[in-house]
Amino acid sequence: MKYEKIADHLYSIDAYDLGLKNRTTSYLLIDDKITLIETSASPSIPYILNTLEELHIKPSDIHYLILTHIHLDHAGGAGVMMKYCPNATVLVHPKGVRHLVDPIRLIASARSVYGENFDAIFGEILPIQEKQLYAIGDREIIRLGSSTLTFYYTKGHANHHISIHESLTNGMFVGDTTGVYYPDMTGEEFDVILPSTSPNQFDPNLMEDSIQLFEKIKPNVLYFGHYGPYPHPEFAYAEVRRYLPIFMDAGRQAMKEETDFTKQVHRTEEILTNSIFAELQAKGLSKEHPVFKVIPLDLAVSAMGIVDYLSKSSEQS
């Protein structure tokens, strides 16, 4: 079991998404109102419950369950988790409420992305009663006790995305808005942060708007959904901005070379993989480094979002 004490009142929990360590993070705020941020997918729930037990916290004492967005690697396990948290209220973007009450469209969308691997990855997805849900407002403030949470709508990765500022650490729970941070790089001379451009609401311009919002708020630390706390926000912003044009150019090139959507996605993924791997190796990273096994998992999904965005926009040229 792996969890980390970030501050006296804040823990990160490794949810072992896809059965992999350092993949998806849940966060636990221990205050007058105990709060869990993110559940990951249903197979992650036992890891969260075991951590709560180790920290001597009863699931029935959880007051809020917060979802940055309803993509299943962040929220797929929320319905299962609520079976253990009868006194909790789920806080989510208003656009996410109906999909949690009736997840049929959410499931169908994810199945179109993950295909035959869907059930193994996401497990059971249960609906949540509407009375257990609360549609959080933009700039709305909730006081947990000593800590205060301020909620912000942050489009770019998804239209139903929120980010949450936590007052005591001056930290921002960013979900996927500032991409994916790879803690496998710990101990290396440089960090790797890539944009998360998964389908079907990715928009690079809105992602930039959200990053500019973070720059105005000036958090000291970003709490990534993938993965963990990161104390260099400005570097994260710069890397997303640096890579987004590379991602988009890869999609444009693929769409010029291929006419079939699936082939366009595979070609985008191939171009990005070759480009990023070459860059990392040029910086001195060994081909055997574990980060090379993880990055393709994200690029496969990000390529779909890029081609989907370009297909619906006028930005192909």
What pTM was estimated for this model as a whole? 0.94
Q: Which of 231, 230, 271 is nearest to 250 (CA)?
A: 271
Residue 58, SS3 per DSSP: coil
11: left (phi over 0), alpha (psi -120 to 50) or beta: beta
8 Å CB contact between 65 and 82: yes
CB burial of 60-97 (b: ≥16 within 10 Å; e: otherwise) equals: eebbbbbbbbbbbbbbbbbbbbbeebeebbbbbbebbb
Domains defined for the chain, CATH in brackets: 3-168 (3.60.15.10), 245-312 (no CATH)
d(CA 3, CA 48): 9
d(CA 163, CA 173): 5
Assigned token pair, 235:
């570097």
For the chain, how many residues are written?
317
**Ordered per-residue pLDDT tens for the chain, 317 residues:** 589 999 999 999 999 888 888 889 999 999 999 999 999 999 999 999 999 999 999 999 999 999 999 998 899 999 999 999 999 999 999 999 999 999 998 888 778 777 788 888 888 899 999 999 999 999 999 999 999 999 999 999 999 999 999 999 999 999 999 999 999 998 899 999 999 999 989 999 999 999 999 999 999 999 999 999 999 999 999 999 999 999 999 999 999 999 999 999 999 999 999 999 999 999 999 999 999 999 999 999 999 999 999 999 865 44
Residue 102 is given by DSSP the state S
Integer Rg of the chain from CA: 19
The full DSSP string for 154-197 is --SS-TT-EEEEETTTTEEEEETTT-EE-GGGTTSSS--EE---
Q: Which of 73, 13, 9 is nearest to 41 (CA)?
A: 73
Q: How far is CA 143 from CA 33, 93, 211, 218, 223, in A?
A: 8, 18, 25, 20, 19
